[in-house]
Amino acid sequence: MATTQPEFEHPNKAFGLAARDSSGLLSSFNFSRRETGEKDVAFRVLYCGICHSDLHMVKNEWGVSTYPLVPGHEIAGIVTEVGSKVEKFKVGDRVGVGCMVDSCRTCQNCEDNLENYCPTKTLTYGEKYSDGTITYGGYSDSMVADEHFVVRIPDGLPLEAAAPLLCAGITVYSPLKYFGLDKLGLRIGVVGLGGLGHMAVKFAKAFGVNVTVISTSPNKEKEAIEHLGADTFLISRDQDKMQAAIGTLDGIIDTVSAVHPLLPLIGLLKSNGKLVMVGAPEKPLELPVFPLIMGRKLIAGSAIGGMKETQEMIDFAAKHNVKPDIEVIPVDYVNTAMERLAKADVKYRFVIDIGNTLKTSS
């Protein structure tokens, strides 16, 4: 008999980790996935990255969470079943799903390959799908999505490295491109050296851009310069160094997850410089207008990227060997990983080894 219990609402059994309330604590969760529809791709999840958005969501920091909530939108795995009308994928293919699983496909944004700005898009978890059921993310053993929202993971790119590209990667690649911050010889700043920030450094370096990291963590300096290839490292609390860097940057990608002052960042920009916000703090930031006016500076936002650009990004990453630095963790470490992520204690992305460590409950 049909019931609204997550475990029985669909025919395919699924198992994962869910938060039950705003404590954000994740624990075992039995639910179900829909039957593989004619345009659907079903896959076995092998790896899932932990995005700071997962942390915001499990703790309901944006005030939009519903429980039980299965997070995870950096999902990589192997196709197990395809619908009869699927054209791009077959069983055994290496695939991924990022932040979206559906959109209207008819609005201007969808027509422009900007499904990420479709007003009625469906996010990968915690949203109502077109069939009325709630979407559950990739901290789980299986996934199903329309092939339009499935990305092909190029050969040579390990699945665990591909996973964080599906959110962290595209979220910084897209604004670097759109705002013209990908031009050889430009000087850009990256604020916050976490999952998104370190990918911004890597993509920017692959584009031939000069990169200044602006960080609160002195312990990240050596590695940022020597390993990530950043050209300059500024500690945001170091007034003298910040002062010396005033007016030096063509653009900034701000990935900070918490409330922080914008004034010093606007100061780092040259005239006509662009400050692009991708970090999503739970409270509004203070916007100092005068320093924007006195330099024709621009402040903007950007959300992930469309499906076409996501595929382009991951193909570029494979071709140019742009890979995230990851700490692969077992499922039973996830709650500890969340605590560490809250303290910016990760270099630079946790990826859950779902395939080897998610044990189905009896």
Please give the residue ranges that form the binding site for Zn ion (CB under 5 A): 51, 53, 167
What separation in angstroms does the CA of 154 have from each of 94, 309, 318? 8, 15, 7
Q: Between 97 and 167, whose beta carbon lies closer to Zn ion?
A: 167
For residue 142, the cross-strand partners are 44
Q: Between 25 and 280, whose beta carbon lies closer to Zn ion?
A: 280
**Residue 177 near ligand NAP by CB under 6 A:** no
Instruction: Choose one: 103-111, 297-305, 312-320, 330-338; the region binding ligand NAP (CB under 6 A).
Output: 297-305
User: Which of 277, 282, 275 lies closest to 303, judged by CA?
Assistant: 277
What single-letter DSSP state applies at residue 69?
A: B
State the minimum distance, in angstroms, from the CB of residue 360 to ligand NAP.
28
CB-facing half-sphere around the CA of 166: CA atoms within 13 A: 33
User: Which of 208, 210, 205 lies closest to 228, judged by CA?
Assistant: 205
The item of Zn ion, ligand NAP, none sharing an interface with residue 258, based on CB under 5 to 8 Å by kind, is ligand NAP
State the minimum distance, in angstroms, from the CB of residue 207 to ligand NAP.
19
User: Which of 309, 261, 328, 308 lies closest to 288, judged by CA?
Assistant: 261
For residue 211, the cross-strand partners are 188
If DSSP states are collapsed to H, E and C, what string results for 323-358?
Answer: CCCEEEECHHHHHHHHHHHHCCCCCCEEEEEHHHHC
Position among 10, 13, 148, 260 found at the interface with ligand NAP (CB under 6 A): 260
State the minimum distance, in angstroms, from the CB of residue 303 to ligand NAP.
4
Tell me, residue by residue from 181 to 200, as one string, x for binding to ligand NAP by CB under 6 A and - for no binding. Answer: -----------xxxxxx---
Q: Between 8 and 117, whose beta carbon lies closer to ligand NAP?
A: 117
State the minimum distance, in angstroms, from the CB of residue 197 to Zn ion.
13
Q: Between 5 and 120, whose beta carbon lies closer to ligand NAP?
A: 120
Distance CA 199, CA 194 (A): 8
Query: Helices 168-178 and 307-319, interaxial angle, to 10°?
Result: 100
Name the residue with the smallest CB distance to ligand NAP. 194
Q: Between 36 and 171, whose beta carbon lies closer to ligand NAP?
A: 171
Q: Beta-carbon neighbour count of residue 112 at 10 Å?
A: 12
Distance CA 351, CA 173 (A): 20
Position among 256, 268, 329, 334 found at the interface with ligand NAP (CB under 6 A): 256
Structure tokens at 113: 């390959």
Position among 216, 248, 335, 357 found at the interface with ligand NAP (CB under 6 A): 216
Position among 103, 171, 212, 232 found at the interface with ligand NAP (CB under 6 A): 171
Q: Between 113 and 216, whose beta carbon lies closer to ligand NAP?
A: 216
What separation in angstroms does the CA of 241 have from each of 25, 228, 237? 40, 21, 9
> What residue ranges bind ligand NAP (CB under 6 A)?
51-53, 56, 167-168, 171, 192-197, 215-217, 220, 255-258, 260, 278-280, 302-304, 341, 344
